[in-house]
Structure 1
Amino acid sequence: MFKKIVFSASFLLFLTTCIAQSSAVLSPDKRLKVEVAVVEGKPVYSVFYNDKQMLQPSPLGLITNEGDFSTNMKWVSQKEDVVSKKYHQDKIKKSEIDYQANVLTCTFENAKGHQISVRFQVSNNDIAFRYELPTWGERRSCVVEKEATGFKFPSYATSFLSSMMSPMTGFARTAPSYESGYEADAPLGKKTRNNQGYVFPALFKIGNDGWVLVSETGVRSLYCASHLSDPTEDTVYTVAFPDMRQNNGFGSTGAAVGLPGVTPWRTITVGANLKPIVETTIPFDVVDPLYEPSRKYEYGRSTWSWIVWQDNSMNYVDQVKYIDLAAALGYEYILIDALWDTNLGKEKMKELINYARSKNVGVFLWYNSNGAFNDAPQGPRNRMNTSIERKQEMQWLREVGVKGLKVDFFGGDKQETMRLYEDILSDANDYGLMIIFHGCTLPRGWERMFPNYVGSEAVIASEMLIFSQGVREAEAFFATLHPFIRNTVGSMEYGGVLLNKYLVRENKNRNKRLTTDGFQLATAVLFQNPVQNFGLTPNNLTDVPSFEIDFMKEVPTTWDETLYLDGYPGKYVVIARRHKNKWYIAGVNAEEQTKTLTLQLPLTPNGKYTIINDDRDGNTFIKPLTVGKNGQVKIEIQPKGGFVIR
């Protein structure tokens, strides 16, 4: 299972100087290998898959206020172990997970004689590693000022990256909020315009050898969230800490760590194809719940007036219409968005909640996270940012029967901001409330860590379809990226399935939707989030074909299994998801030509199924589908179109 390193030719070429010691760890199936060494006093690691180098020697180490642990390091020891873990998780892409990993812990010593360890857990297709800091003499605390951790890919690799937004820009100075676009198949070494680097997760194609997805997990109040730096001259992407200018320049850029302590996990998913990328559960495998749920949280679908009807819909009459829409669809929830505090007030809101309860519809309410760190004016404000006010508000929310909150406008990755996320989640659980975050950072294992967490935006979401012609034009392109990148590492509260032909209340004249109905229905399956705030409007009950509404009445939001079937980021994607005993297969096409695919489906041969698809004029239809004995079907996906089989 473990062995001393048998060096590859490329690695031996690199090791031209004396090495104190080195070691390696293999995955259980022996296809994935991590090599660790100290070269000229610098700890490095390399990654191989099927004997092909996926990551060249890349730096390890931390720089703290108690010493530098990235240079002048000596190898001290190594320890080998195994991890075996089975768990159930009801709100990610898979419900039953069996995690098996081999462990290598390497301990190094710096010039001061202080030690630090790096723990690698290597499972089939996945690597997770973190730093473990002991006490140093009398020291029981330190500040991690910088990480040397890096990722050096072969020169022929290409990238699929989204840039980090500049601090204190965008709407009401609320950036960064992980809402930048992507560039697909870009060459290595390309720097961002603002020198801010790239957000996690980051996808790389290693020529014909395979794919690598890089991210992090296990971030909470005990550390800051990180991202990738712009590449160095020799194309090394390093782990970068938050920009000091975030949150109006207040707060630390590093991480205060109590000793002994650990950092979050850096994760690397590797595959010869995209299947391991789409199906990985590594963000959840290496973390555990931080507290018990105070009640059984129930997930589901929601209506939401603001996405199409916007601010003017924040009145009693329009919210009743959306409660009635939720009831007609059999949806579990309605999301009542910003400005309810001034447009309705708490007494009127209590009446509205009671009306929703009479229709068997639960209520989510919107809140501003501020505070003092940006200028977003929408209310309720100053109710989520401090403990006393937050608990008073949540007490009222529980009393009137609210089921959950959508908390907006965070704009930073500093440790102080991570503490605010955690405090909101922890307090909300005390009052039996679910939490959705918006205008926010990437979730990092939070689905498992926080039982009442039910999703984050952290993506160019449906609201930008309302505001931007460019985003409407790129909708299909982005949709074919998310299952491989953003949504594969965490729940994505996108707010999709818009069936209005024009994305305005009047459903005419402006903001024309550029994707088909088949495309929109497919995203209900492609985009995973345990509570889905769909963009349907009351008029859709009568102005779209009934089979589309029937599909939206039945589509689930939780999944027991997820399978990659076909696709290429930025071009097209087909995914299968299973809810209990029923499979849903969905695909969309971002290319300019019709895509013809032969798909191997996880369906019973000769079974009776239906397919919703588009014809060449963009009209969406439904028809029976028979799966042959070999389980294969031939599918056409129209440009900016999509299909669903169930």
Structure 2
Amino acid sequence: MAVPIRTAVAALCAGLVAALCTTVPAQAERRHERTWSLSATAHAPRARISLDDTTGTLSLSVSRDGRPVLEPSPVGIVTEQADLSQGLRFLHRKDRLIAQSYRVMSGKRLAREVRMNETRLSFATAAGARLDLVVRASADGVAYRYVLPATYGDVLGETSAFHLPADAGAWLSTYRVDNEGQFAQYTAATAPTRSYGHQALFETPGGYTLLAESDLTGAYSGARLAHTQGTGAYRIQLADDRVPTDGPLTTPWRAMVTGDLATVTRSTFTDDLAPASEVADPSWIRPGTVLWTWLAGGRPAGQSLAAQQAYVDYAAERGWPYEAVDAGWYFKADEWDTTDPDWQTNSWLPELVAYARAKGVGIIVWIHQRDLDTAEERARWLPTLERWGVKGVKIDFMNSEARSMLQWYDAILPETAAHHLLVDFHGSTIPKGIQRTWPHVMTLEGVGGEEKRTNTAAHLTTLPFTRNVVGSMDFTPGGFHRVGLRPNSDAAEVGLTVAYESGLQMFAGTPESYDVRPLARGFLDQVPAAWDDTRLLAGDPGREAVLARRSGDRWFLGGVYAGAARTAEVPLSLGPGRWLVETIEDGTDGTDGTDGLVRDRRVLAGGDVLAVDVVADGGFAAIACPWRPGVTTCYR
């Protein structure tokens, strides 16, 4: 039977409408599958992940408020059996919100709140090899990692890179295995061809960005940044030529801490990305200030019980909770018969520990990594140190971020925690979330610190925005006796004890150098090593850094400067109300008996400008407390 024309036209129209209704969304879905976006809030950093349909390659870019932070940068990983950097096709996406609260024992603030959006994008090659790209975005950063759900042989490398605008400001340190390179300023493209440390800071139209890692363990390999002059590209270069795998693999986070300078400085993003604490009962973990004796007396002091007892006496007099015994206390250990159960009686350290305990001072001891290299060595040393009553260990000379050394970290971290030993790593990696997972790690070196004789004032004013952003930093400030060997003034040296955060803040000076600077010594008596909050009051990497850190109702300020003398104007952004502010500044002639330091008191309102006269390459320190009638000092 013939179909009426009107009916046929109606059916055709209905078919076209149906086709349009299905075709357009399908095209939109295909476009959606090629580009994905992720952000925590409207004004937070926004990650954009793109899949090239032709090559099957992935790239990631970051913007903030519509301005570029990171240009499209390659993402991918290559193994023996699978090239997961190209030929990828999209499978599916899964999103979730991460909301956490946790506490740490030291750092920029003890109480932390985490809120991050996460997307997991799954891809596969034509041969069926799987790659999951996990991306997280928070108010202060973007991070990504690779998850390989199956074994594809050893990892041969990553194609991961960070492409910055060529003219982006760059503060970089040449890579060293001990992470003690000095920071210098370039642009992203003009930096010389070489490898740089991972804690690289860039300034782009979208703000400041610090590159970092988190959750690095012995399952993988540490990374540095490889750069070729003339480009803005910084490529991930692993410490190992290949990374053995024997099952599914999750790589460390490649993190970008992003925001204005105050946001970057205050950020705990790398800790927020890390696994939760492995220490069930952290009540024995106590940060504190330390009298460090190496720069004060060197190896001879380390070999002398009498000298160490004198240092303990001084720490007790000052109320400093710890004294650190550096190299030399077991200098003749190779002569001991360690097969003898009583071999430890050859050391005078137990006597020192008992002497210090009676005076309320805890002992921290230096020990070479080679003496803790094996399970057998650790089984001899760690229980012995705990039995003696030693409070912590300063372990030195790891000097590697290869997988084998990272596995050593994985072994010693739970062992030191089990024996209630605080840890200070020297000649080490830098913090990569380690202090959240293992809160007894009080500090790490990984910095060109007070021991260096080639530091510059510019380097000192860059550290709060680079190395110290990612975790505690054992710079060992307070080396007042090193006149001519350090680039800064006495008041700046006092300021470093606050500007630099460390769970064990080791003072590097001699008792004599403190005693001839009673104003500096009095300030050091007040300085805590754990903070309730941290704020950047003024900053310009390489030129000035003024940080305020709160303990209870008191704010401690540390300011360091590079360049000519000036009157520094610091916004007192501590909160409403009136504040008594007591500063330690460089004087002019030293005739007041304080070796040139002067103390000033003034009452200011929150938001006022604190004006401080700063000498060339100088600085200041201050304590601010709520003012009310009758309050005449913030010192306690």
TM-score range, shorter chain: 0.7 to 0.9
Report 1:11-30 matches (<5 A): 21-30=34-43
Change in Cα spacing, 1:146 to 1:386, as seen in structure 2 (3 Å) is same
Match of 1:361 in 2: 361
Aligned partner of 1:238 among 235, 239, 245: 235
Query: What amino acid maps onto 1:43 in structure 2?
Result: L
1:283 maps to 2:280: no
Match of 2:14 in 1: none
1:456 maps to 2:433: no
Cα contact 2:189–2:229 (8 A) shared by 1: no
Q: How far off is 1:198 after superposition?
A: 0.8
Q: How far off is 1:343 after superposition?
A: 6.1
Moved more, 309-318 or 570-579: 309-318
Report 1:233-312 matches (<5 A): 234-242=231-239, 252-271=240-259, 273-287=260-274, 288-293=276-281, 296-312=284-300
CA distance in 1, matches of 2:322, 2:363: 6
Query: Does the residue aligned with 1:296 lie in a helix, a strand or coil?
Result: coil
1:131-188 alpha-carbon deviations (Å, 9 max, x no partner): 11112xxx4x7322201111111122121111112xxxxxxxxxx2011112113342
Match of 1:335 in 2: 324
Change in Cα spacing, 1:594 to 1:294, as seen in structure 2 (3 Å) is closer
Query: Does the residue aligned with 2:105 lie in a helix, a strand or coil?
Result: coil
Cα contact 1:45–1:60 (8 A) shared by 2: yes
Match of 1:201 in 2: 199
CA distance in 2, matches of 1:191, 1:158: 14
Aligned partner of 1:89 among 104, 126, 132: 104
Query: Does the residue aligned with 2:93 lie in a helix, a strand or coil?
Result: strand
CA distance in 2, matches of 1:598, 1:495: 25
Unaligned regions of 5+ residues in structure 1, if any? 1-17, 166-175, 243-251, 371-382, 503-510
CA distance in 1, matches of 2:400, 2:107: 25
Q: How far off is 1:384 after superposition?
A: 0.3
Aligned partner of 1:429 among 417, 426, 439: 417
Match of 1:325 in 2: 314
1:38 maps to 2:51: yes
Identity value in percent: 25
CA distance in 1, matches of 2:535, 2:565: 25
1:103 maps to 2:103: no
TM-score w.r.t. the length of structure 1 is: 0.85
Match of 2:68 in 1: 53
1:66 maps to 2:81: yes
Match of 1:537 in 2: 510
Change in Cα spacing, 1:306 to 1:343, as seen in structure 2 (3 Å) is farther
Moved more, 610-619 or 408-417: 610-619
Change in Cα spacing, 1:520 to 1:30, as seen in structure 2 (3 Å) is closer
Query: Does the residue aligned with 2:211 lie in a helix, a strand or coil?
Result: strand
Report 1:407-556 matches (<5 A): 407-464=395-452, 468=453, 470-471=454-455, 474=456, 476-500=457-481, 502=483, 511=484, 513-544=486-517, 546-556=518-528
TM-score w.r.t. the length of structure 2 is: 0.86
CA distance in 2, matches of 1:628, 1:433: 44
1:510-539 alpha-carbon deviations (Å, 9 max, x no partner): x45542221111001011111111113121
Query: Does the residue aligned with 2:536 lie in a helix, a strand or coil?
Result: strand
Aligned partner of 2:584 among 601, 606, 612: 612
CA distance in 2, matches of 1:625, 1:645: 11
Q: How far off is 1:363 after superposition?
A: 0.7
Match of 2:26 in 1: none
Q: How far off is 1:300 after superposition?
A: 0.5
Query: Does the residue aligned with 1:229 lie in a helix, a strand or coil?
Result: strand
Q: How far off is 1:598 after superposition?
A: 4.1
Match of 2:349 in 1: 349
Query: What amino acid maps onto 1:437 in structure 2?
Result: F
CA distance in 2, matches of 1:190, 1:321: 48
Match of 1:641 in 2: 618
Cα contact 1:118–1:130 (8 A) shared by 2: yes
Report 1:71-150 matches (<5 A): 71-135=86-150, 139=151, 142-150=153-161
CA distance in 1, matches of 2:270, 2:324: 28
Query: Does the residue aligned with 1:539 lie in a helix, a strand or coil?
Result: helix
1:577 maps to 2:543: no
CA distance in 1, matches of 2:568, 2:395: 42
CA distance in 2, matches of 1:550, 1:86: 36
Q: How far off is 1:630 after superposition?
A: 4.3
Match of 2:305 in 1: 316
Match of 2:191 in 1: 190
Query: What amino acid maps onto 2:261 in structure 1?
Result: L
Q: How far off is 1:111 after superposition?
A: 3.1
CA distance in 2, matches of 1:142, 1:290: 30
Match of 1:168 in 2: none
Q: How far off is 1:294 after superposition?
A: 6.7
Query: What amino acid maps onto 1:567 in structure 2?
Result: G
Query: What amino acid maps onto 2:208 in structure 1?
Result: W
Query: What amino acid maps onto 2:314 in structure 1?
Result: L
CA distance in 2, matches of 1:596, 1:30: 31
Cα contact 1:158–1:186 (8 A) shared by 2: yes
Cα contact 2:166–2:231 (8 A) shared by 1: no
Query: Does the residue aligned with 2:522 lie in a helix, a strand or coil?
Result: helix
Q: How far off is 1:232 after superposition?
A: 7.5
Number of residue-to-residue matches in the alignment: 574
Q: How far off is 1:211 after superposition?
A: 1.2
Cα contact 2:562–2:616 (8 A) shared by 1: yes
Cα contact 2:192–2:228 (8 A) shared by 1: yes
CA distance in 1, matches of 2:606, 2:165: 43
CA distance in 2, matches of 1:42, 1:616: 63
Cα contact 2:560–2:620 (8 A) shared by 1: yes
Q: How far off is 1:259 after superposition?
A: 3.3
Cα contact 1:231–1:238 (8 A) shared by 2: no
1:376-420 alpha-carbon deviations (Å, 9 max, x no partner): xxxxxxx30000111111111111111110111112111110011
Unaligned regions of 5+ residues in structure 2, if any? 1-30, 334-344, 591-595, 624-636
CA distance in 2, matches of 1:46, 1:617: 55
CA distance in 1, matches of 2:459, 2:573: 24
Cα contact 1:295–1:432 (8 A) shared by 2: no
Q: How far off is 1:200 after superposition?
A: 1.4
